[in-house]
Amino acid sequence: MDHSLPDDDVLYEAFVNRDSSYEGIFFTGVKTTGVFCRPTCTARKARRENVEFFASARDALLNGYRPCKLCSPLAYRGYVPDWLAPLLEEINENPTIRLKDNDLRERGLDPRRVSSWFKKQHGMTFQAYLRALRIGQAFGRIRVGEEITGTAFETGYGSLSGFGDSFRKTTGFSPSQSPHKQVILTTRILTPLGPMLAGATAQGICLLEFVDRRMLETQVERLNKLLQAEFVPGFNPHLDKLHTQLGEYFQGKRQVFDLSLVLPGSAFQCQVWEGLQTIPYGTTRSYKEQATLIGHPDAVRAVAKANGDNRIAILIPCHRVIGSDGSLTGYGGGLWRKQYLLDLEAGNRNSNE
Residue 128 has pLDDT above 90, yes or no: no
Determine the pLDDT at residue 97.
84
| pLDDT tens digits along 115-124 | 888 876 666 7
| pLDDT tens digits along 205-231 | 999 998 878 888 899 999 989 998 888
Find, among 350, 349, 330, the residue nearest to 213 by Cα: 330
318 is catalytic: yes
Q: What 3-state DSSP class applies to 152?
A: helix
Determine the pLDDT at residue 21.
67
Structural domain boundaries of the chain? 8-67, 85-241, 247-345
At the top level of CATH, which class does the domain 85-241 belong to? mainly alpha
From the list 37, 68, 71, 206, the catalytic residue is 37
Lowest mean pLDDT among 69-78, 258-267, 329-338: 69-78
Determine the pLDDT at residue 304.
92
From the list 41, 68, 206, 318, the catalytic residue is 318
CATH code for the structural domain at 247-345: 1.10.10.10
Task: Tell me if domain 8-67 and domain 247-345 are identical in fold.
Answer: no
> In angstroms, how far is the first alpha carbon of the chain from the final one?
27
Q: What 3-state DSSP class applies to 156?
A: coil
> Looking at domain 8-67, does it have CATH number 3.40.10.10?
yes
Q: Is 57 exposed, middle or buried (0-12, 13-18, 19+ CB in 10 A)?
A: buried
